[in-house]
Structure 1
Amino acid sequence: MTKRLRLFIPLLFWGLQCFANFDVNANCTKAYKCILQFKLKAARQAIDAEKSMHPQNSFAILLDDYYDYFWMLSTESKSDYDRLKENKSKRLNKLEDEDKTSPYYNFALAQVNLHWALLHARFGDNSAAGFAINRAYKQLNENQKKFPAFLPDDIPLGMVNVALGALPDGALKSVLNIFGIKGSITSGINLLQNATLHLPKSAHAMYYDEAVFYTTYLQTDVVNDEQAYNKMLQYTTGMDNSNLLKSYIQGYIALRTGHSNEAVHFLKKAPEGSEYQPYPYLDYLAGLARMNVSDKSAGNYFNKFLQTNKGVNYIKDAYLHLAWEALLDGNEKRYNAFVQFVKTKGYTYNEKDKRALKEIAGVPYNTTLLQARLWFDGGLYDKALNILKGKDAGSFTVKDDKAEYYYRLARVYEAMDKNMPALENYQQAIVTGKTSNTYFGPMSALRAGNIYEQLKDSAKAVSYYKLAIDFKNHDQENSIEHKAKEGLKRLKR
């Protein structure tokens, strides 16, 4: 071998290494998995080691963004958001100069845009969120055309489609309408379910937990899938018990689907230790779940959340639940003190905190209706039914309480698969709530439409969906109207 050739060969391989810009090696896989498990200290060490050993590996840029995203999920800190949000443009600028022939090129760009779209929206920066979603949507569609077999794309593309398809009228939707992009809930869910089905046996198996994270959330909070809880149990079977994300998914989905006793169990089993990033939100969820099943320790979890939380969300709602606890205990002084905290503490970036202010604006909650509401949310339908059947509409002197009584009774009957009494009480709630600005009337019309749609009575379903839209100037108006319009679309009316 000539001396010139011996010099050329190392240069050749050096050049190949320089342009292998997205190397998902063992160290990167470890860092990614640690992030998803909320083991952020270990993730930080692995990312920094990767940067030191392989400074040309652009996958580390994406890992940095995942790290910031999960950090923000755990802290909910506005100051951290303001400090870290400049990283988005810096990372995008770096990634745009990388290997455009890799399926990770547009995937990485889209993931950075999507992470920050979600964070922008979380802190009320809807214009920035809209622009970021638009970019992510275009990048993912381009990637799907170039690399249709690249399975990781299905996760963010599915999420964007569902989110866009389900977005009610509001500031964020107004921004997105400028770009003329529309999503599809059905297409999005199909993409996510395809990912959860095929990822475990693919070369991209490491993305399974992330697919489960988004799929279960969207099936529960957006699609309202009746099988969301059972699907979650199936999906999370393949996740490691040492994964804090698994405990979050199980606890959150159980709580949101009327399985509060199970939520208490899942959250109690959450792994602990110094290797995990502190996540106060789990204490807030535990407080909600325990209060729904009349567990007297609920207040301890709300207080722990308020003491350790450095973020801006759910503060007002936590104080609201402490106020409700005092109200149910008959402690008026303590109730009034917490009402003041709802008014003066926390922020209103989050819908639950906005609603908390409305909840305490009038007279104190009727304790019968409040207890029935909590038991219903907890899945204790027999208890909720018994306390409501112990009263009648004439027991309530406030008009809005009458509407809520019928609405709560209808919700319980519907949950118990007793459609006829559910429909009768929804109709009473519609009549009683016609001149109110509460959501009981329009929500009753929406849910009656859902029942008739399930019963294949399209004419009545359409009638009730239109009735839900006809209600104006009430709580949750955008959300209810959007869901009613989606119902009309399904029925092609």
Structure 2
Amino acid sequence: MFKKVFLFTVFFALLTTQLKANFDFNNNCIKAYQAIFDLRIQDAQAHLRIEKQQHPQNGIIILLENYIDFFSLLVSENQADYNRLKNLKSTRLSLLEDQDSKSPYYLFAQAEINLQWGMLKSRFQDYLSSGLDIKKADNLLKENEKKFPTFLPNQKSIGLVNVIMGSIPANIKGVLQSFGFRGNVEQGIKKLDHLTTSLTQTPYNFYKEEVVFLLCYIETDLIQSKNSYQKILNLTSSFGDDSLLKTYLQGYIAYRNAHNDDAIKFLQRRPTKTGQYLNFPKLNYLLGNAKLNRNDSDAYVYLAKYINEYRGINYVKDAYLKLAYYYYLKNDIAKYQTFVKMVKMKGNVYDEKDKQALKEANDHAPDVSLLRARLSFDGGYYTKALAYLKDKNQADFKLQKDQIEYFYRLGRIYDALNKTQEALVNYQKTIYAGKQSAYYFAANAALQMALTFEEKGDKSRAVNFYHQAINMKNHEYENSIENKAKEGLKRLGAD
């Protein structure tokens, strides 16, 4: 009898040990994580199914399932999916609270889920809840850092939170700081930059791709760094060729930094194994825009494909407008008018691009030379852009908007060609002609002049033009331009 009781006790002890909640980022979980960052979600789910069978109490499973939802929503931007999945956040946090509290992943995993949902909520316009989630993540990460100061994954997320909180728009920063929202962009980026090398010889090396993804997000969307192109390109070169995320990051960073030919090359080189990857319509949106910038005859194919496949909340109006412009430049006025109507009927106005697309659709048809110059400039074809305008003068444009834009386009083109004096002259003409208008040209011209003088070390003139940019009201992109001007004043100690 004693022997049977003893054997039962040993068996039960072994069983409970095996079932005890823990965090084990084992090889199978690493494979799932890497598949997620390639956007091979089906492969990731297959690895997690195996892990659930072998180690059902592994808390890393909960974290990785949240990663899958995070990337799925980032890619799809589908409101219905967001509404359906966001309730899983509290369920997963509750499950994590029952895991091993002595593990460095205990607080870290909770912070990651809060941080990921904070970023998603911002994308879906739920700003208050987004801020609260990011603040929760910050508190958890700081507590975890005290307990486990050498736990490197913690530094990844602390760096990101620092940048997010440090890049809060100037017009709301003071209010949020009273609630403890404080960050430092430079420190955050420095921390992430350091991790790209310090992770290499550690058990956490698999986190490197995520660090690169975060740096790309930060330097293109949050701080809009002009010097990030080669840096991100070098960092993403270590990604495998079967990574769809690599395609997106390289294509996006090239497109945003006016390396248009590179963007087309990267986006056309995407891996194409059917059914293996997340459906990522935005790749076609980027490719269609890049091809339109280069005046490629097949630009419409990719813009139309984006519209047909995409079920999200952003860039639908902008895609229809770009299709309208494609046919306008082909002198197909009937199709131009058809797609202009679609801009007014379809899509949302959450994003600034869609707001601007709707405004342009309700305005006069663009001047062909100005439109060609604008698209060429956006693609980085500056000499070509200048050629469309160099034989023009103000009298060639009948509409006031076109006259203002003429000076503005010349200013931007000369600026990009490092012809500073010609740029400043045309920016000043833009301000004179457009400071009372509802178009953004004059305010942004003032902002560009301020940035130029700041770079030259001419503080007084930089401050003057930052104030001019702020004082112009009721125009397009007003909040964005004003926030950038206020950040400039802050850098100069003149806020």
Matches within 5 A, 1:238-387: 238-274=238-274, 275-387=276-388
Take 1:157 and 1:399, find their aligned partners in 2: how far apart are those partners? 49
Take 2:11 and 2:460, find their aligned partners in 1: how far apart are those partners? 75
The amino acid of 2:386's aligned partner reads L
Contact 1:122 1:349 in 2 (8 A): no
Contact 1:216 1:232 in 2 (8 A): yes
The corresponding residue for 2:94 is 93
Higher mean displacement: 18-27 or 316-325: 18-27
Question: Counterpart of 1:201 in 2: which secondary structure?
Answer: coil
The corresponding residue for 1:26 is 27
Question: Counterpart of 1:200 in 2: which secondary structure?
Answer: coil
- TM-score for both structures, normalised by structure 2: 0.94
The amino acid of 2:54's aligned partner reads M
1:227 aligns with 2:227: yes
Take 1:174 and 1:99, find their aligned partners in 2: how far apart are those partners? 38
Take 1:396 and 1:422, find their aligned partners in 2: how far apart are those partners? 20
Higher mean displacement: 45-54 or 148-157: 148-157
How far apart are 1:11 and its partner, in Å? 6.3
Q: Which runs of 5+ in 1 are unaligned?
A: none
The corresponding residue for 2:237 is 237
Deviations 1:36-60 (A, max 9, x none): 1111111111112212211111010
How far apart are 1:269 and its partner, in Å? 0.5
Deviations 1:273-316 (A, max 9, x none): 12112211111111011111111111000111111222222211
Question: Counterpart of 2:348 in 1: which secondary structure?
Answer: coil
The amino acid of 1:131's aligned partner reads L
The corresponding residue for 1:159 is 160
Higher mean displacement: 86-95 or 218-227: 218-227
The corresponding residue for 2:62 is 61
The amino acid of 1:255's aligned partner reads Y
Contact 1:106 1:139 in 2 (8 A): yes
How far apart are 1:357 and its partner, in Å? 1.0
How far apart are 1:343 and its partner, in Å? 0.8
The corresponding residue for 2:405 is 404
Take 2:297 and 2:492, find their aligned partners in 1: how far apart are those partners? 46
Q: Which runs of 5+ in 2 are unaligned?
A: none
How far apart are 1:97 and its partner, in Å? 2.7
Question: Counterpart of 1:113 in 2: which secondary structure?
Answer: helix
Contact 2:292 2:299 in 1 (8 A): yes
Take 1:471 and 1:13, find their aligned partners in 2: how far apart are those partners? 72
Question: Counterpart of 2:99 in 1: which secondary structure?
Answer: coil
Question: Residues 56 and 399 of structure 1: is their aligned pair in 2 closer, same or farther, counting only changes over 3 Å?
Answer: same
The corresponding residue for 2:52 is 51
1:207 aligns with 2:210: no
Contact 1:169 1:478 in 2 (8 A): no
The amino acid of 1:225's aligned partner reads S
The amino acid of 1:142's aligned partner reads E
Take 2:419 and 2:108, find their aligned partners in 1: how far apart are those partners? 47
The corresponding residue for 1:420 is 421
Deviations 1:53-101 (A, max 9, x none): 1111101000010011111123222111111111111111111232233
Contact 1:130 1:176 in 2 (8 A): no
- TM-score for both structures, normalised by structure 1: 0.94
Contact 2:170 2:487 in 1 (8 A): no
The corresponding residue for 1:488 is 489
Higher mean displacement: 15-24 or 141-150: 15-24
Question: Residues 9 and 55 of structure 1: is their aligned pair in 2 closer, same or farther, counting only changes over 3 Å?
Answer: same
How far apart are 1:183 and its partner, in Å? 2.1
1:122 aligns with 2:117: no
Deviations 1:151-186 (A, max 9, x none): 22233322222222223368x979956633122221
Take 1:200 and 1:20, find their aligned partners in 2: how far apart are those partners? 29
Higher mean displacement: 393-402 or 319-328: 393-402
Question: Residues 33 and 47 of structure 1: is their aligned pair in 2 closer, same or farther, counting only changes over 3 Å?
Answer: same
Deviations 1:166-220 (A, max 9, x none): 23368x9799566331222212211221222322332211111111111023212
How far apart are 1:18 and its partner, in Å? 5.0
Percent of pairs with identical residues: 44
How far apart are 1:17 and its partner, in Å? 5.0
How far apart are 1:348 and its partner, in Å? 2.2
Matches within 5 A, 1:464-479: 464-479=465-480
Take 2:146 and 2:391, find their aligned partners in 1: how far apart are those partners? 61
Higher mean displacement: 359-368 or 345-354: 345-354
The amino acid of 1:485's aligned partner reads K
Take 1:467 and 1:6, find their aligned partners in 2: how far apart are those partners? 83
The corresponding residue for 1:77 is 78
Contact 1:110 1:136 in 2 (8 A): yes
The corresponding residue for 2:194 is 194
Contact 1:244 1:271 in 2 (8 A): yes
Question: Counterpart of 1:127 in 2: which secondary structure?
Answer: helix
Higher mean displacement: 204-213 or 248-257: 204-213
Contact 2:428 2:445 in 1 (8 A): yes
Take 2:150 and 2:433, find their aligned partners in 1: how far apart are those partners? 54
The amino acid of 1:365's aligned partner reads P
Take 1:175 and 1:346, find their aligned partners in 2: how far apart are those partners? 32
The amino acid of 1:242's aligned partner reads D
The amino acid of 1:215's aligned partner reads L
Contact 1:326 1:332 in 2 (8 A): yes
Take 1:433 and 1:157, find their aligned partners in 2: how far apart are those partners? 43
Deviations 1:431-473 (A, max 9, x none): 1121012111111111111111111222221221122111122
Question: Residues 388 and 277 of structure 1: is their aligned pair in 2 closer, same or farther, counting only changes over 3 Å?
Answer: same
Contact 1:251 1:264 in 2 (8 A): yes
